[in-house]
Amino acid sequence: MSQATFTPRVFSGIKPSGGLQLGNYLGAIKRWVDMQAGDYENIYCVVDMHAITVWQDPKDLANGTREVAAGMIAAGIDPAKSVLFNQSQVAAHAELGWIFNCVARLGWMNRMTQFKDKAGKNAEKASLGLYAYPSLMAADILLYHATHVPVGEDQKQHVELTRDIANKFNHDYGVDFFPITEPVIDGPATRVMNLRDGTKKMSKSGDSDMERINMTDDADTIAKKFKKARTDPAPLPETVEGLADRPEARNLVDIYAALSDTTPAEVIAQYPGAGWGTFKPALADLAVEKLAPISGEMARLMADPAEIDRTLAQGAEKARTIAEPILAQTYEIVGLLRS
């Protein structure tokens, strides 16, 4: 079947659980800000329905949602240019999610590595929502006929599943209705690693706060975390090839490159053979220079939660005008009666 032409449209999302960390910023939000300059519609979503696949204290969830929205705005997502909203205000996500639960196959879901990582040995006690999560993610994307999804490396498999769901839906119903979405995973920081263990990704849920840089960390904390970041004892290499098999060194160079909008090769050219006593303070200074204005602006925005709520309500309104006709057509294709 030939692929219909879809208007280029970008969708991406972030969970409001546990605050934002540097990986979310470099792997996702910073790149979304760059994509806003492009010639297409951008839709960015705080995915609160995804957050509740694991327990969230109701007292914290609404504020966590506001905080992630504030972080996105502070980093440069402009609600006048992009559609910015929280998922639970657009019911169509859940509705399309159900239809996709009936399209996705158990065998596909069983291959999702993130479910295995998150559920761990206790899979029997994991929520059904955590298992079905990638199908809701497919609904988030396809509800807007999004053609491009900028994400970090860890979400690649979920975007591939989204493509499988779109293909199966189109095939089963004999239509060319959903686009086959492209993941957009590029730049030096698609997988920011844990500062204490360069083989694990940085995440909000790791055991120790020293493993990650939080977007709300102050300058002293950022400096301390980079100073204590684990590395091998050798200095930086003379060429970028010398970073192979040195995951911790590679990670710090990647972070520097992403923060300074350069490449790892350029960073090595700037600091050939430098010792950690030189490179780590330079990295900490750069991180503070780039992150302090964002955390300052986040705090300013968080002082007026009603304004954030208004922004999200307006975004949800815009999102509904795109989503509802696509959901209505989906119902029609499936044969669900709307009398």
User: Binding to ligand TYM by residue 190, rule CB under 6 A?
Assistant: yes
Catalytic residue among 204, 224, 290, 318: 204
Q: Which of 10, 46, 47, 284 binds ligand TYM (CB under 6 A)?
A: 47
Instruction: Enumerate the β-bridge partners of residue 150.
Output: 184
| Tokens encoding 222 | 């950022």
Q: Nearer Cβ to ligand TYM, position 150 or 235?
A: 150
> What's the token pair of residue 6?
């879809």
Q: Which of 104, 153, 164 is nearest to 133 (CA)?
A: 104
| Tokens standing for residue 144 | 């807007």
201 catalytically annotated: yes
# chain residues binding ligand TYM, by CB under 6 A: 27
Least Å from the CB of residue 275 to ligand TYM: 26
Please select the residue that binds ligand TYM; options are 201, 225, 250, 280, rule is CB under 6 A. Answer: 201
Q: Among the candidate windows 10-18, 224-232, 238-246, 258-266, which touches ligand TYM by CB under 6 A?
A: 10-18
Which is closer to ligand TYM, CB of 28 or CB of 215? 28
**Among 286, 284, 278, residue whose Cα is nearest residue 261:** 286
Considering the rule CB under 6 A, would residue 42 count as an interface residue with ligand TYM?
no
Active site residue 227: no
Under 8 Å between Cβ of 257 and 263: yes
Q: How many Cα atoms within 13 Å fall on the side-chain side of residue 247?
A: 13
The single-letter DSSP state of residue 177 is -
CB 204, min distance to ligand TYM, A = 8
Q: Which amino acid is it at 211?
A: E
Asked if 93 interacts with ligand TYM (CB under 6 A), we say no
Pick the stretch among 153-161, 223-231, 237-245, 284-292 that binds ligand TYM (CB under 6 A). Answer: 153-161
- The partner residues of 182 in beta bridges, in order of sequence, read 148
Please select the residue that binds ligand TYM; options are 65, 88, 89, 155, rule is CB under 6 A: 155
- Among residues 58, 48, 56, the alpha carbon closest in space to that of 13 is found at 48
Which amino acid is it at 26?
Answer: L
- For residue 204, indicate whether it is catalytic: yes
CB of residue 107 to ligand TYM, shortest distance in Å = 20
Question: Which contacts qualify for 177-180: CB closer than 8 Å, 24 or more apart?
Answer: 177/4, 177/329, 177/330, 177/333, 178/142, 178/145, 179/3, 179/4, 179/6, 179/142, 179/145, 179/146, 179/147, 180/3
User: 44: which 2 tokens?
Assistant: 């960015």
Shortest distance (Å) from residue 72 CB to ligand TYM: 11
Of the candidates 9, 10, 13, 30, which one interacts with ligand TYM according to CB under 6 A?
Answer: 13
How far apart (Å, rounded) are the C-alpha atoms in residues 65 and 85?
A: 10
- Which residue, chain included where needed, has tokens 């399209």? 103
Among 118, 168, 224, 318, the active-site one is 118
Q: Which residues are catalytic?
A: 118, 201, 204
| Residue ranges in contact with ligand TYM by CB under 6 A | 11-15, 23-24, 27-28, 47, 50, 137, 140-141, 149, 151-152, 154-155, 158, 189-192, 201-203
